[in-house]
Structure 1
Amino acid sequence: MQTPTKSTQKSRKTAENKRQVLMEAVTSCIKIYGLEKTTMENIAEQAGLSRITIYRKYSNRNNLISNFLAYRAEQFNAKIKAKISDCNSMEQALEIYFLSSAEQAFKDESVRVLVETSHVFKTILNGEESPIKDAIMETWQPLLKKLSADDAQILKIDDSEIINWIIIMQHNFSRMAIEAECSAEQIRQYIKDFVIPAFIIKASA
């Protein structure tokens, strides 16, 4: 295997730094203008980059927003992956994942704004390729593989179908928790009473 040169490593680091600056600019713009009113011009100005530079990487606004969602999903899933990878049941993993999702939505204003929009639904229901779906798939796939060895119900459902269900439920659940101003205990109870039974019904169908 060829060892990356110093110039290659520097180029990658520069690209990663530029991506981080851009994603943080999107975060700021969503807080200032709201998701629907945030424009590529707003983001470029906030990031200190030209629109041409952004368009070289992202073909349009929807593509940039999808990548922003993936960026936030990567941050969230990096923290949660180790926790759910040790789970011995889907029920346990779902409880940890959805509780952490709701807590994140309460803490992060940009996440709260995002769960109030239909962007995620449009992406999933239209069957579009989605960076956010890829990020969540990377988190869940190892666990699904492990659990399917002992659970025939999980084995018979396509991983992509499970991920779509998790994304949509995560969106709905976080939105409900925010609107109802639920406590951690109320959130945990809702997961046990509604989210987990919904998955069991889906797996049994």
Structure 2
Amino acid sequence: MTVNLTRIYTRLGDGGETHLGDMSRVPKTDPRIEAYGTVDELNAQLGVTLAAGGLPAPYEAWLKRIQNDLFDVGADISVPEGGPRERLRVIPEQTAWLETACDEANAQLPALKSFVLPGGTLAAAQLHVCRTVCRRAERRVLACGDAVNAETVRYLNRLSDLLFILSRGVNLSAGADEPLWEPGRYR
């Protein structure tokens, strides 16, 4: 599949509407636009994470793969189910890959003794930002109702789990203390 963009501005959205992937027009406040806009924001935050450095090599490769997959997620969300043409959809194998990555990364970590506070290294803190944006993207997809591919929800749910695990792994690999919640410590 080739994408050819010859002109970036079109003026078609100047009135507050935009096209979905099936060329139907919707307001820019449509739940689908909110959903794939948040997926786009997540992808940008992953780009910041990669640019900042401090990631183990396997994590960097995984995040680059995820960035590409997130364009698949956005494409999936942008086109309502049905219609005469076959569309790009997130498939269970993409979610299964995330589960394998979760298992592989988590196997290297000590058991949790408390909730983890975002922090430690810059890379770990940025992965927590990505995790929270991912959770918001999941909520935005759910707000679209039954008219979206349920696999996108599963994918985003698993991705937020992986981002949490990677944040822990980054701190461990850097020798940083894992910041843990201490209930009532400052009461």
TM-score band w.r.t. shorter chain:
under 0.3
In terms of fraction of residues, the more helix-rich structure is: 1
Q: Which has the higher contact order (CA 8 A, sep 6+)?
A: 2
Q: Normalising to structure 2: TM-score of the pair?
A: 0.28
Q: Normalising to structure 1: TM-score of the pair?
A: 0.26
